[in-house]
Amino acid sequence: MTSDLPVVLTIAGFDPSGGAGVVADVRTIVQFGCRPAAAITSLTFQNADGFFGASHETAESLRAQIVPVIEESPPAAVKVGMLPTAELILEVADLIRNKRLPAPVLDPVLKSSSGGELMEPEAIPVLTRELLALARLVTPNVPEAEALTGLSIENEDDMRRAAGKLCEIGARAVLIKGGHLGERADVRHQKSAPRSSTDLLTEDGEVTVFTGEWIEAPPIRGSGCMMSSAIAACLAQGVTMKDAVQRAKEHIAGAIREQLSHIITQI
């Protein structure tokens, strides 16, 4: 199949409920005007209520999915999500180095929204060592940034320090998604204080803070998947990193508002 649309390849886990993983990625890539391609790293067993396990792909099966796709339609951008094992991390790193894949948008997912562990603990340092320096952008949320850096993140200054440490480790650019800080505000007795949705981008030594409206709504499943795949789709079309992040952030805000509107209509 041929198309004039830029191809965005997502390498991620499969969520049968459709809320996250490659299903959310493909949906987002299409919404942003690109042609999706996908390779599955793990078949997860989950829904909105819980995580019940997973069956992981081998390095050989992942390579077998990816190579025919990129030989037929070289991707303009790559998004990498769930990589549950060190074996798969090493395979993706090798494919990036030797198959001329674009530097990916790396979403280092460690847990599902429903609480399931999506990466084996021994794989985390392998991810840090092998993939951070290969990525065009790394997009951890606050708990993921804490796990990757060992730092505690409670405010914007902490986000800056964590992003700086990830760059010291080797990342070219880092986007720390601050939604969890807004959620933690209630715990710190700040219910009456105005909250905002703050994300922090560090690229080439320059820090950009993106501040948006805090929308009081239940967390949306797959928001991290949608954010990283939206950024990848924008980069595939030649959009600058800052504009890609801003467009992706607006897309997530729209998805949250749509979910909230659906909830209200059901009341």
* DSSP-assigned letter for residue 163: H
The mean pLDDT of the chain is 89
Q: What is the pLDDT of residue 194?
A: 47
**What is the percent of the chain where pLDDT is above 70?**
87
CB within 8 A of 228, min separation 6: which ones?
25, 79, 81, 105, 106, 107, 139, 248
Tokens of residue 109, six digits: 């997912």
Using an 8 Å Cβ cutoff, are 83 and 39 in contact?
A: no
Burial group, residue 223, by CB count within 10 angstroms (0-12, 13-18, 19+): buried
- Residue 265, pLDDT > 80, answer no
Residue 176: pLDDT band with limits 50, 70, 90 = very high
The C-alpha angle 150, 222, 207, rounded to 5 degrees, equals: 50
**What is the percent of the chain where pLDDT is above 90?**
73
Q: What is the pLDDT of residue 13?
A: 97
CA 39, 53, 225, 107 dihedral sign is negative
Which structural domains are found in the chain, ordered by start? Answer: 7-217+226-266 (3.40.1190.20)
- Residue 7, pLDDT > 90, answer yes
Residue 260: pLDDT band with limits 50, 70, 90 = low
**Residue-wise pLDDT tens digits, 111-131:** 887 778 899 999 999 999 999
H or E segment to which residue 8 belongs: strand 7-14
**Residue-wise pLDDT tens digits, 35-72:** 999 999 999 998 888 889 999 999 999 999 999 999 99
**Residue-wise pLDDT tens digits, 180-202:** 675 555 544 455 444 667 999 99
Using an 8 Å Cβ cutoff, are 223 and 252 in contact?
A: yes
- Residue 168, pLDDT > 70, answer yes
Q: What is the pLDDT of residue 48?
A: 82
**Residue-wise pLDDT tens digits, 212-254:** 776 665 667 789 999 999 999 999 999 999 999 999 999 998 8
